[in-house]
Amino acid sequence: MILLGSTGSIGVNTLIMAQKFNIKVESLSAGRNIELLNSQIAKYRPKKIAIIHEEDIHKLTPQGAKIYVGNEGICEMIAESSSSLVVNAIVGFGGLDPTLTALKYNKKLALANKESLVIGGWMIDASKIIPIDSEHFGLWYLSGSRPIKKLIITASGGAFRDISSKEIPTKKPIDALKHPNWKMGKKITIDSASMVNKLFEILEAKWLFRYDEIEAYIERSSNIHALIEFLDGSLVAHFATPDMKLPIAYALDTLQAKNTPVIDGIDILNIPPIKFEPIDIKKYPLWELKESLIKNPKLGIVLNASNEIAVEYFLNHKINFGNISSIVLKSIERFDREVNRVQNKNDISEIDKEVREFSKSLI
């Protein structure tokens, strides 16, 4: 197995499941958490290691493994690894090249990097991808041969779901990082509060299932991850304890996952009341972009780039929470027609740079 982003929550859980399923770890990549990476190297003894920053090499204890550096190094590591499975748990734009490289070398791709599909889904053969995402795993789990009317994914509502829409714009990072259901990385927690994460997942669903009738609702317990409405009028839902080990297990080895207790089951006698709520645009102003993104998915490039800049500045206390949506909406308006020129990976990179500079100018 080749695991990219080994020190994040997905990466850590992937290693747990790999050990449970006796899957050999050939290659690892990580960002700045070298201390955790070193402990993973000592435990799993990979033959190859990739890190993002060259200045971190002296901190590594590679145990004889070959070292690769930077995004190009990650892609080189994928190409030189004999393992047929790549788990891409990199966060952000940097995950696109490894995704394309894995597919180029005909690797099985277990994808947790949402951005690959958000910014480049139109040029990726999604049939070769296994999503590591509770919502899309739920849709896959439920789907069958019956004609589908609508795909539905759920949202927790994030840190501000119970806050007045008038109070939200002035909120600070300390407020936005208080997720009501679980602890995640900083960026995805902010994206949950703004509903950007759910916009990403709408685009993911579009490319993974090649379907445009997609909706999302808030479901506070996070015990229902996805639903499918079929043409015959029936509706099915995927219930599961909110634990990423389940989709990871199926991505690593479907046969073992089917026949192994992976997570704790749900006690149906003690499930909290199930209620679905619409996503309020007053509280989540970016949700108004949903239909535009489905119709013109290349706008995902603009959404991702402008949001990455806005979230970075927000976490550094340079803007308030409300400025995130303002920056993203103005960027979408500015580049609405520009994205039509995008034809390949180089075009994506060019637009990405332009959007980032424009977003910074707004700040």
Q: Write out the DSSP string of 155-224.
A: E---TTTTS-TTTGGG--HHHHT--SS----HHHHHHHHHTHHHHHHHHHHHHHHT---EEEEEETT--E
Instruction: Answer yes or no: is 280 a known binding residue.
Output: no
Instruction: Answer yes or no: is 9 a known binding residue.
Output: yes
Instruction: Answer yes or no: is 156 a known binding residue.
Output: yes
Instruction: Answer yes or no: is 158 a known binding residue.
Output: no
Name the residue with tokens 């190409």: 79
Instruction: Answer yes or no: is 354 a known binding residue.
Output: no
Task: For the chain, give percent helix, strand, coil, nearest 5.
Answer: 50, 15, 35
> Is 95:50 a contact under the CB 8 Å cutoff?
no
Instruction: Answer yes or no: is 64 a known binding residue.
Output: no
Instruction: Answer yes or no: is 115 a known binding residue.
Output: yes
**Separation CA 172–CA 174 (nearest Å):** 6
**Separation CA 240–CA 140 (nearest Å):** 14
Tell me which residue of 149, 151, 156, 168 sits closest to 276, measured CA to CA.
Answer: 156
Tell me which residue of 137, 111, 142 sits closest to 126, measured CA to CA.
Answer: 111
Instruction: Answer yes or no: is 72 a known binding residue.
Output: no
Instruction: Answer yes or no: is 95 a known binding residue.
Output: no
Instruction: Answer yes or no: is 31 a known binding residue.
Output: yes
Cβ neighbour number for residue 315 with a 10 Å cutoff: 16
Please report how the helices 196-209 and 186-194 are oriented relative to each other, as an axis angle in degrees rounded to 10: 90
Distance, C-alpha 165 to centroid of its chain: 26
Instruction: Answer yes or no: is 277 a known binding residue.
Output: no
Instruction: Answer yes or no: is 338 a known binding residue.
Output: no
Instruction: Answer yes or no: is 222 a known binding residue.
Output: no
Token digits for 306?
């402008």
> Is 215:151 a contact under the CB 8 Å cutoff?
yes
Instruction: Answer yes or no: is 10 a known binding residue.
Output: yes
Q: List, edge to edge, every strand of the sheet that includes 214-219.
A: 235-239, 224-230, 148-155, 214-219, 276-277
Q: What is the DSSP letter of 105?
A: T
Instruction: Answer yes or no: is 138 a known binding residue.
Output: no
Instruction: Answer yes or no: is 317 a known binding residue.
Output: no
**Separation CA 305–CA 356 (nearest Å):** 6
Instruction: Answer yes or no: is 106 a known binding residue.
Output: no
Instruction: Answer yes or no: is 192 a known binding residue.
Output: yes
- H/E stretch holding 277: strand 276-277
Query: Can you say which residues are annotated as belonging to the binding site for 1-deoxy-D-xylulose 5-phosphate?
Result: 114, 134-135, 156, 179, 192, 197-198, 201
Known binding residues for Mn(2+): 133, 135, 201
Binding site feature residues: 7-10, 31-33, 113-115, 133-135, 156, 179, 185, 192, 197-198, 201
Residue list, annotated binding site for NADPH: 7-10, 31-33, 113, 115, 185
